[in-house]
Chains A and B, each alone.
Chain A
Amino acid sequence: MIWELFFTFFKIGFISFGGGYTVIPTIQNKVVAYGWMTGAEFQKAVSVAGMAPGPIATNAVTLIGYDTAGIPGAIAACAGIVLPSLIVVIALAAFFFPYQSNKTSKSIFYGLRPVVTGLIAYAAIHFANFDKLSGYTWMNGFTLLICAGCLVLLAKYKLHPLTVIAAAGAAGIVFL
């Protein structure tokens, strides 16, 4: 189990381009497939993870590891998702960095950035629509409304993400 947690998230760590958001759907699929959590439990875990500092994917897998196998599970999951970053960054620092302004690397990022945009957009859609089975109940409607409110706070009023998260939590208590 510990090994499974480590290795599953280790593999996911390598493709978490654009930060943790892009791999949330992948993590969800794996976690549900392994029976570690249900989709609804996963959604709650990510919400809790969003309140903590640090990358949301790292926090989420730490929670999943803890939930599945206690502290050892949390350590295995966290190490699993962080280690690929460490390996890739060291590799980049050692071999790639001198060629950063190289034409090939520029073309790589030319193609990589748009698909990462697509991946993040997909993560938003996927995570918004977690509760496919029960459909859009009024609860979901309210969550979407809160989401829209948060977007306004973030984009227009440029509030700090943590303030927005706290406001959304309060709004949830008041309205849901």
Chain B
Amino acid sequence: MNTNWKKPLYIWVQLFWVFARIGPSTFGGGYAMMPAIEREVVDKRKWMSQKELADVVSIAGSAPGGVGVNAAAFIGYKKARIPGAAMAVIGVTSPTFIIVIAFSLIYLIFQDSPKLEAALKGIHGAVVALIIMAAYRMAKAAIFDTTTAVLAICALFALLALPVTPLYIVAAGILTGICFIRIKEIAGKKTMTEKPSKSRSGAEPIYPEYYI
């Protein structure tokens, strides 16, 4: 009769532990985490199938926030509902949290060192490059017809020229998507809502190629 409460507790601890170990391996973006998640969740613990994991990735990539955190939340929810999701997210976040605090302390100690200042200026350049790569990869998946191209350009110019917040941009994008596809449908035109993929076969799941 003890198992009634012991079992969920065990799963919560497991979820925390699995993701606490995966968390620090995500240097360089959440998608870097996916092979580790697959190994742990599909191969080792058999919590879900390969196909289910592919669904997880597609949801995780489309929700706001880091894709690794979102994947953890989704897997945790499937395994043990809301407490499971919370445990998985705490698990995936806490190692990074500790590392960031440690970095912060190191930074405070060497704050006035001109060498650190110079290194951070260099890294600033690297971070800009990483963001440009993320934009490029996102563009490859997102832009495949005139409408999507116009939308992307309009979003960028609106952000550069007008005092709009990202929330309105996101809302405008969603609305345009719904309306445009609907109008095209009414007009009887063929609609395509995703980039046509060339080869989706093969066992390897395809992850959208952009970094968190």
Q: Contact residues of A with B, CB < 8 Å?
A: 13-26, 43-44, 46-59, 62-63, 66-67, 71, 74-75, 78, 81-82, 84-86, 88-90, 92-94, 96-97, 100, 103-104, 106-125, 127-128, 130, 139, 142-151, 154-155, 160-162, 164-165, 167-173, 175-176
In the complex, what residues of B have CB within 8 A of residue A175's CB? 118, 122
B-chain residues with CB within 8 Å of residue A148 when the two chains form the complex: 129
Chain B nearest Cβ from A39, distance in angstroms? 12
Closest Cβ of chain A to B127, distance in Å, is 5
Question: Known: A47-B123, A107-B177. Is A92-B99 also a contact (CB below 8 A)?
Answer: no
Q: Cβ of B166 < 8 Å from any Cβ of A?
A: yes
Most buried by B among A15, A43, A67, A149: A15
Q: Beta-carbon contacts of B122-141 to A below 8 Å, as 1s and 0s?
A: 11111111111111101101
**CA–CA, A145 and B129, complex, Å:** 10
Whole-angstrom distance between the alpha carbons of A165 and B129 in the complex? Answer: 10
Are the C-beta atoms of B100 and A92 separated by less than 8 Å? Answer: no
Q: How many A-B residue pairs have CB under 8 A?
A: 366
For A173, the chain B residues whose CB sits under 8 A away are 115, 118-119, 122
CA distance A156 to B180 in the complex (A): 37
* Residue in A16, A85, A127, A167 with the greatest tally of chain B CB atoms within 10 Å: A85
B154 within 8 Å of A by Cβ?
yes
With contacts A54-B68, A97-B59, A154-B130 taken as known, whether A43 is within 8 angstroms of B124 at the C-beta atoms is yes
Q: Give chain B residues whose Cβ lies under 8 Å from the Cβ of A89.
A: 59-60, 63, 65, 70, 73-74, 77, 85
CB distance from A114 to the nearest CB of B (A): 4
Encode B191-209 as 1/0 by CB contact (under 8 A) with A: 0011000000000000000
Given the complex, which residues of B lie within 8 Å of A44, measured CB to CB? 107, 120, 124
B176 within 8 A of A: yes
